């Protein structure tokens, strides 16, 4: 099973502007992006690793509109920066999607991330939400605490 397609506006509108992508290119690598004919866990043909998009000024709207949850939620501390955590997270309706770096497939099961994801699931549950982790071929629904 592949990761969920990237969804524009997936993470909501708030931009924590002090947070910058830096050398992170996870969202140009980990998601399946149908509009770019890009499979999951494959670097977009327009991306240079650790540098970014070579068509930045003309990149598709879904790329312009996307911000991962680390950019939009101040409940995620610096340890959740995607390269640090080994995963990128975004929201898509009731689903919180966690895409794990295939070179660190156990990242989500290590602390503090395992506890953090359980807490995310517990917070989402009363609102009808849930958290799904994609790590390689494994797809896991996170159990709330
Ligand atoms: S995953 Fe988040 S931090 Fe990394 S490049 Fe995408 S938006 Fe920026
Ligand atoms: S078009 Fe640019 S921003 Fe969009 S996925 Fe490719 S490299 Fe990333």
Q: Is ligand 1 within 6 A of the CB of residue 36?
A: no
Distance 86 CA to ligand 2 centre (A): 19
**In angstroms, what is the span from residue 37 Cα to ligand 1's centroid?**
19
Look at the block and give the residue holding tokens 């000024």: 57
Residue with tokens 């501390």: 77
CA distance 117 to 99: 12
Predicted pLDDT of residue 14: 53
CB of 27 within 6 A of ligand 1: the answer is yes
Ligand nearest to the CA of 16: 1
CA 61 → CA 22, 93, 108, 132, 141, distances in Å?
Answer: 21, 19, 30, 25, 30
Where exactly are the structural domains of the chain? 26-141
Report which of 136, 128, 47, 48 is spatially closest to residue 87, judged by C-alpha positions: 136
- Spatial neighbors of 11 by CB under 8 A, at least 6 apart, are 66, 67, 68, 69, 71, 72, 73, 90, 91
Question: Tokens at residue 71, please?
Answer: 């950019």
Question: Rounded to an integer, what distance in angstroms lies between the CA atom of residue 38 and that of residue 130?
Answer: 26
- Mode of pairing for the β-strands spanning 95-100 and 130-135: parallel
Q: What is the pLDDT of residue 73?
A: 93
pLDDT of residue 5: 47
pLDDT of residue 18: 79
Q: Which of 83, 88, 73, 67 is nearest to 135 (CA)?
A: 88
Pocket test for ligand 2, best of 24, 26, 55 (most atoms within 8 A of CB): 55
Backbone angles phi, psi at 85, to 5 degrees: -75, -25
Distance 82 CA to ligand 1 centre (A): 7
pLDDT digits (tens, 9 = 90+) for 108-141: 999 999 999 999 999 999 999 999 999 988 999 9
- Which residues share a beta bridge with 29? none
The total of other beta-carbon atoms located within 10 Å of residue 63's CB is 19
pLDDT at 142: 98
Identify the pLDDT of residue 144.
Answer: 87
Count, residues in the chain: 145
Residue spans of the chain under pLDDT 50: 1-5, 7-13
């Amino acid at each position: 099973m592949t990761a969920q397609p990237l969804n524009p506006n997936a993470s909501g509108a708030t931009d924590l502007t002090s947070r910058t992508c830096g050398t992170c290119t996870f969202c140009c690598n980990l998601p399946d992006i149908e509009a770019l004919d890009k499979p999951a866990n494959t670097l977009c043909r327009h991306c240079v690793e650790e540098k970014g998009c070579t068509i930045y000024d003309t990149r598709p709207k879904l790329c312009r509109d996307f911000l991962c949850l680390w950019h939009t939620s101040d409940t995620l501390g610096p340890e959740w920066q995607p390269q640090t955590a080994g995963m990128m997270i975004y929201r898509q309706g009731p689903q919180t999607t966690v895409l794990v770096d295939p070179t660190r497939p156990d990242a989500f099961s290590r602390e503090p991330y395992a506890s953090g994801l359980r807490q995310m699931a517990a917070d989402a549950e009363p609102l009808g939400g849930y958290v799904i982790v994609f790590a390689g071929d494994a797809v896991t629904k996170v159990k709330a605490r």
